[in-house]
Chains A and B, each alone.
Chain A
Amino acid sequence: MRALLIRRLRPDVAVRMRLTKDFVGGVLLIAIAAVALWSLSGLSQGTMRVVGPAMFPRWVAIAMAIYGTVMVLTSFLREGLSCERLTLRGIVFVTLGILAFAASIRVLGFFIAAPVLGFLSGFAHPHLKIRESLILSIALAIACALLFRVLLGLPIPMLVLPGVSINF
């Protein structure tokens, strides 16, 4: 946006359009506030005397939206830092690993969920060694099972086979 202004005033200067951190950050704040306000829309505000469920969160969300707007507006006027690039490899495989764990922990049990998480998230690192990653995943699963199930006795389903649930 700033770039647009500069381009109009100084057509001789080459300026690239870029997203600044403040602009994106402000938009993010506004978006979060908007989702919050939308989800609060059915709740009663109450009165000052008997404060309803929606009043406090609504005020907070409005304050967030105001600050987000200020950030967006000032980002047009001030030279800000550009957004860093996202490195997708780490994000994709770590997220996939966690999602796989969430999906399988109750249905298949820890002895399936943990190695799958370990193996999938291993791909997030560029220096992956498949064999090492496999051994690590299984070793970690056994170590965690010993710590959390045997030593601490937390009720984590260990292995669920169709029809039979095995909890040791």
Chain B
Amino acid sequence: MDFFANLALGFSVAVTVNNLFLCFCGCLLGTLIGVLPGIGPIATIAILLPVTFGLDPVSALIMLSGIYYGAQYGGSTTAILLNIPGEASSVITAIDGHQMAKKGQAGIALGIAALGSFVAGSVSTLLIAAVATPLTKVALFFGPVEYFSLMFMGLIVAVMLASGSVGKAIAMVLFGTLLSTVGPDLTTGQGRMTFGLPWLADGIDVGLIGMGLFGVAEILRNLENPGERQFTEGPIGRLLPGRFDLRRALGPVVRGTGLGAILGILPGNGAVLASYVSYTLEKRRSKTPDQFGKGAIEGVAGPESANNAGAQTSFIPLLTLGIPPNAVMAMMVGGMMIHGIVPGPQIMTQEPSLFWGLIVSMWVGNLMLLVINLPLVGLWVKLLKVPYRLLYVAILLLCCVGVYSLNNEPADVLLLAIFGLLGNLLVKLGFELPPLALGLVLGGMMEENFRQAMLISRGSPLVFIESPLSAVFLALSALWLVIAVSPSIRRRRNEVFVEA
């Protein structure tokens, strides 16, 4: 019965005029920024963080998750209409979605993406509500030793699931970790790597790095090929899929939801992987696999559902264990910290209204996306027609204002430029940036847990093997490493990413 009582508590928090309005604004703003070409969810969240300043923590969190869903959905819209996937997870949607748009079925593609996402979002929200309580209880058995090993395993898995070179992903995790140590030491308060600069004394804000690496760097990259994008002119067509379309999409949506819900919990880009796997699966199952790539509705419905289910269940490790499983969640941690919320098992026990309010607002957010996005498609299309030479100036200004308002510190804006240039350089050299963002948040947590573990064990590193749970995590990490290095798996991994 607890389950329903908790949900009722959640509804009482989330369904107030104020919070519904904020959730609405969040979804709208998230889609607005997320729809802009080249702006993925990470940059969207970072750019919109300042908008939540001045709200109380519960409302801020609700708005933040609205932004998150809006950002996720905005990427699909650009993928379908423009063939520009704003983020890795809508690369797959672009394949068949854009073909449908070319055939004059853009509306149906957008509609099925929204419907599939809603179904997937609803199911996985229920899943989160169901597993949250037991998982939080498990988390209470974890001490610093277990946490350290769990995070280590998380980083290893995340690195293995990265689409590029494993070594370079590790290098980026290390760089992120190094950046996380800038600022005051946890125990002595001594400044580390601050070069005596007062504006580095408190460390570098996660949101700032996010805006630099994923906002400014992306603008610099887009400015290299400034040729205007071609927009598929043509009718959007009707938005609601017919009965025939729905019947074709039902299976892919259900299977995609299942795949996404499971893979989303994995560290790294689980949601991205889910959309790839879903596409491959639907293509194999299909009686007409040759239709894939030419505008098959299954190729939109499955991956979109998988992606959204994954985006949803990646909240599970964050909310129950306090560990962000991917770069987008790392940004969410940054946002929560600003409002004084430290994600982890203690939230559910100490602030049940915040926890369950958030869960219910996730579902409300999904519903809102469905309700506001379909009627607003015309508006997003108009926005996409704005030439890039105007858009990037607006994005740049938003980034600058956002960064300045983090601490009202002009030097932060300077850092924004530095991280923009650095991000551009790293991408050019073939490094992926999401592992850096993950390292930035997880690395800091790992240091804290490592030092506590050493204090408890009186300086014996053996403690990581002596604790049975920790030993299991480390053994699993080692297993993952061995698997990843073995050539046959490596080939398979590349296949999954290339095939689709």
Q: Give chain A's interface residues, CB within 8 Å of chain B.
A: 21-22, 24-25, 28-29, 32-33, 36, 39-40, 43, 47-54, 56-57, 60-61, 63-64, 67-68, 70-71, 81, 83-84, 86-87, 89-91, 94-95, 97-99, 101-103, 105-106, 110, 113-114, 117-118, 121-122, 124-128, 132-133, 136-137, 140-141, 144, 148, 152-156
Of the candidates B190, B193, B223, B405, which one forms a contact with A125 in the assembled complex, judged by CB atoms under 8 Å apart?
A: B223
B460 cross-chain contacts in A, Cβ below 8 A? 48
A-B contact pairs, 24 of them (CB 8 A): A28-B426, A36-B178, A39-B192, A43-B190, A50-B455, A51-B450, A56-B451, A57-B178, A60-B178, A61-B178, A63-B174, A64-B171, A64-B175, A68-B171, A90-B223, A91-B424, A94-B420, A101-B413, A114-B397, A118-B397, A125-B389, A144-B401, A148-B401, A156-B405
Q: Does B301 contact A (CB under 8 A)?
A: no
| B226 in contact with A94 (CB, 8 Å) | no
A25–B165 alpha-carbon span in the complex (Å): 13
**Contact status of A39 and B193, CB under 8 A, knowing A60-B174, A121-B396:** yes
| A144 in contact with B397 (CB, 8 Å) | yes
**Contact status of A98 and B192, CB under 8 A, knowing A25-B431, A155-B408:** no
Of the candidates B389, B411, B451, which one forms a contact with A51 in the assembled complex, judged by CB atoms under 8 Å apart?
A: B451
| A53 in contact with B185 (CB, 8 Å) | yes
| A64 in contact with B174 (CB, 8 Å) | yes
B404 cross-chain contacts in A, Cβ below 8 A? 101, 105, 156
| A36 in contact with B193 (CB, 8 Å) | yes
| A128 in contact with B389 (CB, 8 Å) | yes
| A54 in contact with B417 (CB, 8 Å) | no
Q: Which stretch of B49-57, B131-139, B149-157, B365-373 is in the interface?
A: B49-57
Interface centre among B171, B398, B410, B454 (most CB of A within 10 A): B171
Q: Give chain B's interface residues, CB within 8 Å of chain A.
A: 50-51, 53-54, 167-168, 170-171, 174-175, 177-178, 181, 185, 187-188, 190, 192-195, 216, 219-220, 223-224, 226, 388-390, 392-394, 396-398, 400-401, 404-405, 408, 410-411, 413-414, 416-417, 420-421, 424-426, 428-431, 443, 447, 450-451, 454-455, 458-461
| A83 in contact with B428 (CB, 8 Å) | yes
**Contact status of A67 and B405, CB under 8 A, knowing A56-B447, A126-B226:** no
A33–B175 alpha-carbon span in the complex (Å): 9
Interface centre among A95, A132, A137 (most CB of B within 10 A): A95
A61–B443 alpha-carbon span in the complex (Å): 13
B168 cross-chain contacts in A, Cβ below 8 A? 25
Chain B residue, CB-CB nearest to A125: B389
Q: Which 7 A-B pairs have the closest CB atoms?
A: A49-B459, A90-B223, A48-B459, A53-B185, A102-B413, A57-B181, A25-B429
Of the candidates A29, A97, A127, which one forms a contact with B171 in the assembled complex, judged by CB atoms under 8 Å apart?
A: A29
Q: In the assembled complex, how far is the CB of residue B227 from the closest CB belonging to chain A, in whole angstroms?
A: 9
B53 cross-chain contacts in A, Cβ below 8 A? 152, 154
**Contact status of A53 and B413, CB under 8 A, knowing A48-B460, A67-B174, A148-B50:** no
Q: In the assembled complex, how far is the CB of residue B47 from the closest CB belonging to chain A, in whole angstroms?
A: 12
Sample of 17 more A-B contacts, CB < 8 Å, known A21-B429, A53-B185, A137-B393 = A25-B429, A43-B190, A50-B459, A64-B174, A64-B175, A71-B167, A95-B417, A95-B421, A98-B416, A101-B400, A102-B414, A103-B410, A105-B410, A126-B226, A127-B226, A136-B393, A156-B408
